[in-house]
């Protein structure tokens, strides 16, 4: 049986112990690992692994001795309680072994959780779970998490009072960060708001979001968009000293000005276009102001200039790359005047 979207999210949080097995597969190993941990904890409880009610099998071991799977599913645990068997790194070569285990499964046996990498539509392992009348197959793809998934993560982290603007920021973070990084961010937010009755704000999300070298790049880009020509030279020297490449700066600038263009060209105005542009945090107001001041036509010229600069930086030109980038930023800052 195939589960997708909301149904899959609900099943991860509350799996049916009457179903013999679950296949979780996807190209993102971190996302698969997080969902596997969630479903196993729901099946056997948070202390299940400590109570030795979880058996872990590697695909390679099972290929050498197929009987290990059946033995693990049927063997009684040392401690009472529900049991689970986790088969990791499964491939199509184990389809027959898994199929036999599912066929022989009886109530009271351990629940089988199988994890695999990216499986194609022709995969025999995927087809086994998709067409099985009782087992469940769930594929995890690189699509941004749905609102239901984000709300489930927030609930798990103990966050209930959230300002609408902060919720929009968290949604953007969820779509920008790796699943593991997003969960760590939620953990930090949860600890930060412990015993704090006030709703989570957008400013707090920005403070707790992962800090990277891009903070300095953002400062440079916003100085350009605000027309602060005198600040550009010192900022460029600092970034160059930190090892930030001119191409990275150009990509960041192009991304920002394209976002401003999306906001400025929205029929509802720049304020309405902020969500489409995926701009959040304390800089959201600054970006909205910039989109209003620049206007759609001028932002089109700015984007064209940055595309031209990007091509120059990636070409065989021997011109110093940081000087080329700085000159382009100065032209942009002067353009706003």
pLDDT for position 140? 87
> Could you tell me the residue ranges of all domains in the chain?
5-140, 147-208, 214-336
Is residue 172 within 8 A of residue 280, CB to CB? The reply is: yes
**Average pLDDT value for the chain:** 85
Q: How confident is the model at residue 163 (pLDDT cuts 50, 70, 90)?
A: confident
CA distance 82 to 17: 9
CATH class label, 214-336: mainly alpha
Counted residue by residue, the chain has a size of: 337
C-alpha neighbours within 13 Å on the C-beta side of residue 271 = 1
Per-residue pLDDT reduced to its tens digit, 101-136: 999 999 989 999 999 998 888 999 999 999 999 999
Q: Is 55 in a helix, a strand, or coil?
A: strand
Please tell me the predicted confidence (pLDDT) of residue 283.
65
Strands (DSSP E) found in the chain: 21-26, 54-58, 84-88, 111-116, 136-140
- Residue 257, both tokens: 């000005």
Q: How far apart are CA 211 and CA 182, in angstroms?
A: 13
Task: Give the pLDDT score at 213.
Answer: 42
Please state, in angstroms and rounded to a whole number, the distance separating the CA atoms of residues 82 and 19: 13
Q: Do domains 5-140 and 214-336 have the same CATH topology?
A: no
Binned at pLDDT 50, 70 and 90, residue 327 comes out as very high
Q: Which of 337, 309, 336 is nearest to 323 (CA)?
A: 309
pLDDT at 85 over 80: yes
Q: In what order do the strands lie in the sheet with 54-58?
A: 54-58, 84-88, 111-116, 21-26, 136-140
Task: Decide which of 2.60.40.150, 3.90.1150.10, 3.40.50.300, 3.40.50.11540 is the CATH code for 5-140.
Answer: 3.40.50.300
Read off the pLDDT of residues 167-196 as tens digits, 9 standing for 90 and up. Answer: 887 877 776 677 777 778 888 888 888 888
Distance CA 135, CA 127 (A): 11
Q: What is the pLDDT of residues 230-264, one digit of tens each?
A: 888 888 887 888 788 899 999 999 988 988 888 88
Place of tokens 């957008």: 202
pLDDT tens-digit series, residues 285-315 = 777 788 888 888 899 999 999 999 999 988 8
Q: What is the pLDDT of residue 281?
A: 55
Distance from the Cα of residue 83 to its chain's centroid: 30
Cα(210)–Cα(227) distance, rounded to whole angstroms?
Answer: 28
């Amino acid at each position: 049986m195939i589960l997708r979207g909301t149904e899959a999210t609900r099943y991860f949080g509350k799996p049916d112990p009457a179903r013999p097995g679950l296949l979780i597969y996807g190209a993102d190993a971190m996302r698969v690992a997080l969902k596997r941990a969630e479903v196993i904890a729901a099946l056997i409880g948070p202390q299940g692994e400590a109570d030795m009610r979880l058996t872990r099998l590697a695909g390679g071991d099972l290929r050498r001795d197929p009987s290990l799977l059946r033995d693990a599913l049927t063997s009684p645990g040392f401690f009472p309680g529900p049991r689970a068997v986790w088969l990791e790194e499964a491939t199509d070569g184990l389809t027959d072994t898994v199929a036999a285990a599912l066929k022989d499964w009886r109530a009271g046996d351990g629940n089988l959780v199988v994890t695999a990498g990216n499986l194609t539509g022709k995969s025999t392992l995927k087809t086994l779970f998709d067409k099985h009348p009782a087992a469940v197959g769930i594929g995890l793809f690189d699509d941004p998490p749905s609102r239901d998934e984000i709300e489930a993560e927030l609930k798990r982290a103990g966050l209930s009072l959230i300002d609408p603007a902060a919720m929009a920021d968290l949604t953007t973070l969820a779509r920008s960060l790796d699943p593991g990084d997003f969960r760590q961010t939620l953990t930090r937010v949860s600890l930060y708001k412990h015993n704090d009755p006030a709703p989570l704000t957008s400013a707090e999300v920005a403070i707790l979001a992962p800090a990277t070298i891009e903070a300095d790049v953002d400062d440079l880009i916003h100085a350009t968009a605000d027309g602060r020509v005198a600040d550009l030279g010192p900022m460029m020297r600092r970034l160059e000293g930190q090892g930030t490449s001119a191409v990275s700066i150009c990509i960041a600038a192009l991304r920002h000005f394209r976002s401003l263009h999306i906001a400025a060209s929205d029929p509802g105005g720049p304020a309405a276009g902020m969500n489409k542009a995926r701009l959040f945090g304390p800089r959201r107001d600054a970006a909205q102001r910039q989109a209003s001041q620049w206007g759609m036509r001028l932002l089109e010229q700015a984007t064209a200039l940055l595309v031209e600069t990007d091509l120059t930086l990636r070409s065989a030109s021997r011109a110093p790359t940081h000087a080329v980038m700085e000159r382009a930023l100065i032209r942009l800052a002067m353009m706003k005047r």
